[in-house]
Structure 1
């Protein structure tokens, strides 16, 4: 599985709330752009997926 960000669903007008719950800091954000995932850091725990209000983060197999 890997974490995928669907840019079209991300509102890009605020700090991404899912970044706060990542236990390994695998998500980063430049300004209010859609977040970017560091796949080498990501442990695929799904915490960010559960918190994303627009379902822009998904775990894909």
Structure 2
């Protein structure tokens, strides 16, 4: 699910500068997928409490 790619020093400085200004690193290009994945997993966990079969079905659609 996750991959690691090297980034340039300039890109890392830009991310650090944004972070110092209160901008989450997760708002950077490519990292928003992490937030969506976490949100989907959280929603599936809540659904699983009510309807495990439906949650299993939806999880396999990913």
For the criterion TM > 0.5, the same-fold answer is no
**Structure of larger gyration radius:** 2
Normalising by the smaller structure, the TM-score range is under 0.3
| TM-score calculated relative to the size of structure 2 | 0.21
| TM-score calculated relative to the size of structure 1 | 0.22
Q: Which has the higher strand share?
A: 1
Q: Which has the higher contact order (CA 8 A, sep 6+)?
A: 1
